Structure 1
Amino acid sequence: MGASLTATMVLLLLSLVVPTCVAYYNHPLLQSHPVPPLPPLAPHGPVSLYSASDPNPPRPLTAQILAATAPPPLSTLHHFLRCLPRPLSGPAVTIFGSPEYEMRRQRSYQSNRSAPMAFVEARKEGDVQLVLFCAQALRIPVCARAGGHSLVGKSLCQGIVVDVGSIEHVTHVGGDVFDIGPGATMGDVLWGVHKFGRWYAAGVCPAVGMGGYTLGGGHGPYEGRLGLGCDSVEQVRMIDRFGRVIVASETQNEELYWGVLGAGGSQFGIVTNFRVRTASSAPFDKAVVFRFKWPTAVAGQVLHGWQQYDEAGGDVWFRVEMYLDRLGDGGLHGFGACYNVTGGKDECWTRLARNAFFHVKGRRTILFGESINALDVHAFFGPEGRWGRERAVDISKALRVQKYRGANAGNDRLYQSTFLKWGPGHAPPVWFWQRYAEFCGRPVGGRGVEFVVCEMNLFNNAIDRRRNNSFAHREARLITHYIIGGGSVEEQVRLYEWMRRHLAAYTSGVYVNYPELRLRRYASAYWGSSLQRLQRLKRRYDPYLFFLNAQPIPV
């Protein structure tokens, strides 16, 4: 039987699968229907993809595939279940309508957006292989879920959700190298590597999974010294749509290695392991954490000066935030940490005081103190520290008991992210930032909105170094996040559009880990100059969008 095996014959073969078959390589269907070799990559020359009038329209094939994607019939699910081993010593399956179904669905952000056919909990790499092989044979689309924190619900789909949350190992390989599973949370990773005096460029939220965070780039409070999360990855193990293991590094499957790091999750396959080179934790073990507040009336002055701050070459991380403020002066908040501090709080204060924005009148110190170690610093940044408002009481709980925390919180929210960039002498003026701050606190046209957060991080220092991955926004000066919750859909969209228009003159892209379904030209916004190379990889590894994604790389 060759590649022309019909669907009827496939179903017949599946019905004859030996019930006790467990090993992927012994699967009868694989024996009789071997997977084809990978097609060659297209040359690296220019590819004409867009018309002159619209630089990023949906390509016809992508649009047709997405339009044709519908929930597979229950009969197909029946055959999928028969393809899996019995008794079920491998992946655990939760189908629609079963008692645990809703609990598993609620582990994802935007869980109200999709009702998957089934959740398959993969506990090891072989489980992923088997699930993808069976799903591919039956033409059932899949998506992957690690931490479930996709802000637009990309970790859910109308097909099979391959949940790799249980592949959560943090294993010391030797020296500064660790193998990390996609389901390990940021808190798990930091706790695990810190035992060996090491550290990783994790994101602020300890509940976020390693998989989606790293594949989309991964920016957080240590990026000034360590770069992005994806910059530390030396090798990935990925399962392709046929269930094959592909190892990618700078010396093996180099183009896939470049593409998978920065493109975002569920684009080419499902990653089961990241081999990561970590940094010493010593600079982060010697830290001072802080939080300051300025009146809204001077927010424009503060932000205008802050946008030029070099963050002491990466030895300071200084985030600014504003919140919905209907009752009084919520103000502008700045929180973060000084790293590699040997002279106590005075040294950190000196670093901050060198910058003019720090001396704008009205500044109030909310918190300023030395940390116990790097774990204590990260606990301060996370939910147990109320996102940089207080010191966490239980560091272990702050980092290790966070999986799936708050996933449902995103169901009624609209998210926006923007990379901002400008040339010498053309930085946004004071009035621009003042209007931004005032709209964040008291949004006009959003009377019913109950929740607003505006947050910004500088993009500088180690991020600026060119790396061998597809993350395309290293030249940005800063990144903004805008979160709107409550109220009507019309109100949320009205605020979203105002902010998008206000930032438009300086917008250079959008962060793929902070995706937006309202983007009209998402491909160029997410992947910028990397787009054409990523499209060639997509056509090679996933030409028919087997890996479901609301915003796939166009094929």
Structure 2
Amino acid sequence: MGISRRTLLWAAGVGAATAACSKPAPHQPSTTPTTTAAPTRPAAVAPDWEGLRAKVAGLTQSGSPDYDTARRSYNTFFDRKQPAAVAAVRTPEQVQACVELARQSQLPIAARSGGHSYAGYSVPESGLVVDLRAMNKVDIQGTTATIGAGALLFDVYTALAQAGRCIPAGSCPSVGIAGLTLGGGVGVLSRKYGLTCDKLTAIQLVTADGILRDVTADADPDLFWALRGGGGGNFGIVTSFTFATDPAPDLVVFHLTFPAGAAPAVVGAWQNWVARAPVDLWSNCVIAGGSPPQARVGGAFVGAQATLNQLLETLLKAVGTRPTNRMVGQRRYLDAMRYFGGCTNRSCAPETQPREAFVASSRIITKPIGDPAGLTNLLQGRVDLDILLDSLGGAVNAVKPADTAFPHRDALATVQIYQKAAPDGQEAAVRAVAEVRDGVGKLGARGGYVNYIEAAMPDWGVLYYDANLSRLRAVARRYDPDRIFTFPQSIHRA
């Protein structure tokens, strides 16, 4: 039996005319373009679907028996979207062919791996979906891992664990490594080892000109900078990532459930506790809407169980209320990732993960919210709406905000606002999330996390990218002057 994303978060604590299509540009060492002037864009031609099909056998269009399955993303709200085609690619050259078709025909194009884009941007209406899921190889050589852009997190964790290595990443097993990394990548090891993007040493990327580039800090430093936190879909289609890894640690995982009415005290104590916690500790605090809202605290510790128990007693003393349920247990690295993925006693395979309808948004807090009761009151009576506070700090804060495109280096925590909804309840869910998002903002939160991208987020460019937005715009203009990679909240439109 599957488990919903909301339950996981709560329980784990985390027929067209054709024209000639030219041959895609070859793979070459990356060189920075020498001009920022936008050339005159040629007139669009009709997409050469048959030409693309000759290069990409896995091309599905409307009317094909597998079209409705191929176009689906994780969020069922986006099942109404009708892309022109879905190309299941297997090689970088096939990705190049897709980009070339989109460039010539001026067709919307987007990459998809896990399909978890909160706003559905990985399925462009009347556009081309480049499905990367077959490009999922995880190759580990010593302390280096090269991971295909189509790999999903549980596949990544499994391969890393077999080699005794790890990277800091998220918890949901069916999330793709690509979207996670390009937006920064927060997770249960972030305080200890940094963001997912902080471990990047190289990226293979097809840019708008169809060139397959090997991007590093030495080759294309501006592009390498932008790809570490600048958000997915903005600068090209990644085909693989190369990461520096760390030894996979054993973890002590914990879960505390508190009685009804304790949520304000839990939130207030947790914020101050995690702000002073050692970097070996990661924790989150989840507030579930209801009458009254309820709170739980979970997390992981790299170290001895006895030390964690001492830290937890400090938290409980500050809360002033004992939990109704307390679980603390030692786990091997992969078992801990299974726990946070909600699949300790079942398969973590992506095909076993249920899809659901939801709306979400985010804020960022850099210091404790001074009115924790005001925060919890935002969820009074709001069934199926949660606020998740995920701690940052530690190694995340050790990097300067301008050193990568991810700007929230001084953050105490991300604030995710997540509303599970009925299939016909999208409008109501959007309103509810917006009300809570704005309420959190009035309590002192600022910014937003681009991996929790929300179509209705006001002033989203500044909130997601802060002072890094201007440089991101310049990189986008340089590498994509014709705006091939454009969607409603792309850097080109920020």
TM-score normalised by the shorter chain: which range applies?
0.7 to 0.9
Q: 1:393 is aligned with what amino acid?
A: N
Q: What's 2:308 paired with?
A: 348
Task: Name the SS for the 2:296 alignment partner.
Answer: strand
* TM superposition shift of 1:441: 4.7
Task: Name the SS for the 2:102 alignment partner.
Answer: helix
TM-score, normalised with respect to structure 2:
0.87
Task: Name the SS for the 1:76 alignment partner.
Answer: coil
Q: What's 1:92 paired with?
A: 58
Q: Distance in 1 between matches of 2:36 and 2:25?
A: 30
Structure 2's unaligned 5+ residue stretches are 1-16
Q: Residues 108 and 293 from structure 1, CA distance in 2 versus in 1: closer, same or farther, beyond 3 angstroms?
A: closer
Q: What's 2:391 paired with?
A: 458
Q: What's 1:513 paired with?
A: 451
Q: Which residue among 469, 475, 496 is the counterpart of 2:410?
A: 475
Q: What's 1:170 paired with?
A: 138
Q: What's 1:405 paired with?
A: 353
Between 1:255-264 and 1:503-512, the stretch displaced more is 503-512
Q: Residues 223 and 307 from structure 1, CA distance in 2 versus in 1: closer, same or farther, beyond 3 angstroms?
A: same
Q: Distance in 1 between matches of 2:359 and 2:295?
A: 22
String of CA shifts for 1:12-31, please: whole Å, max 9, x gaps: 544xx8xxxxx8569xxx9x
Q: Residues 124 and 404 from structure 1, CA distance in 2 versus in 1: closer, same or farther, beyond 3 angstroms?
A: farther
String of CA shifts for 1:511-553, please: whole Å, max 9, x gaps: 0000111123111111111100000011112233312322011
* TM superposition shift of 1:311: 6.3
Partners of 1:108 and 1:156 within 8 A in 2: no
Q: Distance in 2 between matches of 1:199 and 1:428?
A: 33
Task: Name the SS for the 1:346 alignment partner.
Answer: helix
Partners of 1:116 and 1:157 within 8 A in 2: yes
Map 1:85-484; keep pairs closer than 5 Å: 86=54, 90-109=56-75, 110-158=77-125, 159-172=127-140, 174-281=141-248, 284-285=249-250, 287-308=251-272, 309-310=274-275, 312-325=277-290, 331-341=294-304, 345-355=305-315, 359-371=319-331, 373-384=332-343, 392-394=344-346, 397-398=347-348, 401-402=349-350, 405-406=353-354, 408-410=355-357, 413-422=358-367, 427-429=368-370, 432-443=371-382, 451-466=384-399, 468-484=403-419
Partners of 1:420 and 1:479 within 8 A in 2: yes
String of CA shifts for 1:169-191, please: whole Å, max 9, x gaps: 1001x321010011111111111
* TM superposition shift of 1:480: 0.9
Compute the RMSD of aligned alpha carbons: 2.7
Q: Residues 123 and 347 from structure 1, CA distance in 2 versus in 1: closer, same or farther, beyond 3 angstroms?
A: same
Q: Distance in 2 between matches of 1:497 and 1:127?
A: 40
Q: 2:416 is aligned with what amino acid?
A: H
Q: Distance in 1 between matches of 2:66 and 2:129?
A: 14
Q: Residues 469 and 357 from structure 1, CA distance in 2 versus in 1: closer, same or farther, beyond 3 angstroms?
A: farther
Structure 1's unaligned 5+ residue stretches are 1-9, 18-22, 31-36, 44-60, 66-71, 385-391, 444-449
Partners of 1:353 and 1:359 within 8 A in 2: no
* TM superposition shift of 1:434: 1.6
Task: Name the SS for the 1:495 alignment partner.
Answer: helix
Q: 1:307 is aligned with what amino acid?
A: Q
* TM superposition shift of 1:113: 5.0
String of CA shifts for 1:257-287, please: whole Å, max 9, x gaps: 0011111111010010101001111xx32x2
* TM superposition shift of 1:414: 1.8
1:535 and 2:473 are equivalent in the alignment: yes
Q: Distance in 2 between matches of 1:254 and 1:39?
A: 12
Q: Distance in 2 between matches of 1:166 and 1:519?
A: 33
* TM superposition shift of 1:148: 0.4
Q: What's 2:3 paired with?
A: none
Q: Distance in 1 between matches of 2:351 and 2:227?
A: 24
Task: Name the SS for the 1:301 alignment partner.
Answer: helix
* TM superposition shift of 1:294: 1.7
TM-score, normalised with respect to structure 1:
0.77
Partners of 2:364 and 2:446 within 8 A in 1: yes
Q: Residues 511 and 403 from structure 1, CA distance in 2 versus in 1: closer, same or farther, beyond 3 angstroms?
A: farther
Q: Distance in 2 between matches of 1:131 and 1:290?
A: 46
* TM superposition shift of 1:350: 1.3
* TM superposition shift of 1:145: 0.6
Q: Which structure has the greater CA radius of gyration?
A: 1
* TM superposition shift of 1:490: 5.1
Q: Distance in 2 between matches of 1:364 and 1:347?
A: 21
Q: 2:73 is aligned with what amino acid?
A: R
Partners of 2:359 and 2:419 within 8 A in 1: yes
Q: What's 1:554 paired with?
A: 492
Q: Distance in 2 between matches of 1:82 and 1:96?
A: 14
Q: Distance in 1 between matches of 2:319 and 2:138?
A: 43
* TM superposition shift of 1:380: 0.9
Q: Distance in 2 between matches of 1:129 and 1:310?
A: 46
Partners of 2:73 and 2:120 within 8 A in 1: no
Q: 1:83 is aligned with what amino acid?
A: G
Q: What's 1:34 paired with?
A: none
Partners of 2:202 and 2:243 within 8 A in 1: yes
Q: How many residues align?
A: 462
Task: Name the SS for the 2:90 alignment partner.
Answer: coil
* TM superposition shift of 1:336: 1.5
Map 1:479-518; keep pairs closer than 5 Å: 479-486=414-421, 488-489=425-426, 491-505=428-442, 506-518=444-456
Partners of 2:32 and 2:219 within 8 A in 1: no
Partners of 2:116 and 2:175 within 8 A in 1: yes
String of CA shifts for 1:144-188, please: whole Å, max 9, x gaps: 11110001101100211111111101001x321010011111111
Between 1:105-114 and 1:233-242, the stretch displaced more is 105-114
Q: Distance in 2 between matches of 1:322 and 1:248?
A: 41
* TM superposition shift of 1:353: 1.9
Q: Residues 359 and 245 from structure 1, CA distance in 2 versus in 1: closer, same or farther, beyond 3 angstroms?
A: same
